[in-house]
Each structure stands twice: as structure tokens, then as C-alpha cells.
Amino acid sequence: MMNCETFSDLLQEYLDETLEAQVQAAAQEHLRQCDACRQAFRRQQALAKSLRHCLDRATAGLSVRPGMRQDVLQALKSEPVTSSNWWSAGRRFIPLRPAGAVATLLGLLLLSVGIQVYRRAANDGASPTIAQTGHYTCVINVPMQTQTHVFRRQDNTIEDAVISSAGVGYAGFFEDREPPSPKTQPHPL
Amino acid sequence: MDLQELVDSHGNRLLRSACLLCGDETEAQDLVQETFVQALKSAHRFRGDSAVHTWLHGILLNLCRRHFRKQKRLVFEEERVLKETVQPVPADELDRDFCAKALAQAVQKLSSEHREVIVLRYYENLKIEEIARQTGVSKGTVKSRLHYAVRCLEQFIPREMNLFVSGDTHNGEP
């Protein structure tokens, strides 16, 4: 047997008819027997009806501005690639599972160290060049996924837009170092 | 679905909902435009688990929330609520349009969280569990917000409008 407190708690779901069949039947039985809850139920129904009617009426005159479709297409066309877009593109490229993410980072780290070692080894044989220029540069290209907006054009008007995320771009990181300056020995005197 | 078809089928309803949520038609138009932009960009992620309108409204709701966060930095919300006062209603002006307008104004006086549940429940006609899913809170929180929001509206709406009286003419069955 349902009490008033439980009925009050379940009133909204009872109105939605989303309760389990058994609970819905118990609520209906309680409603039949309890005057106070019946009144609360009717009040809620009337309130919902009034609010729906008023909100519909208050906004009835509104309609989307003409040319909304063109504005949407224009906005899509001119939207710059923001940092969040790059972030989401990066997230799609990098596996989301922790193990995959760790493996990817470890791979990048090893790649970076490998390039450094290779550079140093190469520089050992070409030290005169570094000595002459005074700099060496390390470039790492990291593949990044990009988004492409494709617009269907017909009779010189843009018909529709299709989004593709298949493009691949590269972001470069540069490291530019000064060679260590020769230490000046203090005069023994 | 073609973009024009999408705008024709859902544009006006989204605009009205946006207007109730943000209280300004120009801002609402911009929010609806951005909703369609976002929808086209993420169309490949829509798997048809919900109705198209529910999906679009979810995007709109997120954009409205972002809009409110930006607005909050400019005007503290409580401050704005306090500035607005309910105008006394002359008895001879109590027609339906006036009541509707007064209610729409009263909805604007609610906090964004309470306004959301009122619009979703009584304009979008969503069930409690659908609102919980869209707003990312529990059903209990939705019911609590709804209860509080209605109590606030009762305070904002003059009694003469009879918006909150019980409908004794109903038969009592859903």
C-alpha cells in the first residue's frame, strides 16, 4: 500500500507514466483513496497545462530569420581552426585508452631521444660545420588529424556541406641550440 | 537529412526554446544558428539513439549554458534578478496574451538551472528521465529543481492570473 509521501515523490513519473506497471497501479490505487493526493495530482495537471499554454503563446510569433541556412553554411565555411578543434583532432588521433596513450607518449619520447642521438653522432663527424655555423637544428614532424569542410556547389550557389576528418597534416617542433662556448682558463698568475 | 529540411523542421521550435532560455530574440537566433553549425560538424556522431529534435536541443542547451557562463562574467545573475521587479497587474488587462508574457518574463527571473527544467518540462514536454539525461543530473535533482522553480514562479506571478490554481474540472486520471 503506497503512502502519501511516496506518492508525492513519484507524482512526476506517475504523470509521465514511466513507473513500473506494478508501482503505477499502486499509485493509481492510492490516488483513488486519498483526497489530498488527488488534489495535488489535479493541481499538477492544471499547472502543467497552464504553463505549456502560456509558454507556447508567449513564443508563438517567433520564427528563424530568413537566410538561416546560408548563414549556417557561411559560418561553417569561415570558421577558423581553434585550439579546441586541434585538441579534439589530437584526441581522435591519440588512442583514448590509458595503455595506448602511454605507449604513444613513450614512442614519441624514444623517437625524440633517437633523433638527438643520431644528430649528435652525425655532428661528431661534421663538427667543423657546427663550429662554422654556431647552431644546429632538430626537426620533429608529428602527424596531426585535421578536419575538412567540403561544400557542394551547384549553379554558383553552395548547396550543402559535408564534414570530413580524414586529412592529415604535420606540426613541426624546432630546437635550436647554441654550441657550448669555449671556457676561458683563468690565468695562473 | 538536408540542412534546409533541418532548419524548416526544427528551426522555429529551437528558436522559441532558445528565446525562453536566454530571454533575447537576437541572441536566440545566433544560438540556433550555432546549433545547426555544431550539428553539421558532429553529424557523423549522431547514431539515431534519440529523436533528431532531442539531439539538436541537447546541442542548444550546451550552447545556452556556455552563453550563460560568458554572461555571468559580465553581470552577476542574482544582481540581474534583483533589478527586475514584477509589475502590478491591472484587473482589466488579465487577458491570455498578458498572462503568457508575464509568465515568460517570470521564467527569465529564475536561475539558469531552474529555467532549464521549466523549459524542458513544460515547453519541450520532456519526461523527467529525459530531462535528467539532457542536463546530466539525477532524476531526484530534476524533480527538486522543478519543485523549487514552480514555487519561485508562484511568487513572481500575481495571484489574479490564476495560473497556479487546481483544476477541479479534471477527472484525476492521467
Asked if B112 has any chain A CB less than 8 Å from its own CB, the reply is no
- Compare CB distances from B40 to A31, A46, A161 and report the shortest one's residue: A161
Which chain B residue lies closest to A45 (C-alpha atoms)? B167
Number of alpha carbons in the 13 Å side-chain half-sphere of residue A146: 12
Domains of chain B: 1-74 (1.10.1740.10), 76-161 (1.10.10.10)
Taking contacts as CB-CB distances below 8 angstroms, the residues of chain B near A17 are 174
SS3 A62: coil
Evaluate whether ipTM surpasses 0.90.
no
Question: Considering only CB atoms, which chain A residues are within 8 Å of B3?
Answer: 69, 72-73, 160-161
Q: Residues of chain A with pLDDT > 90: what percent?
A: 25
Q: What is the pLDDT of residues B137-150, one digit of tens each?
A: 999 999 999 999 99
pLDDT band at B29 (very low <50, low <70, confident <90, very high): very high
Angle, CA of A59, A63 and A65, to the nearest 5°:
140
| Cα A58–chain centre separation | 35
Measured CA to CA, the distance from residue A172 to residue A174 in angstroms comes to 7
Of the pLDDT bands very low, low, confident and very high (cuts 50, 70, 90), residue A97 is low
Task: Tell me what pLDDT residue B174 has.
Answer: 39
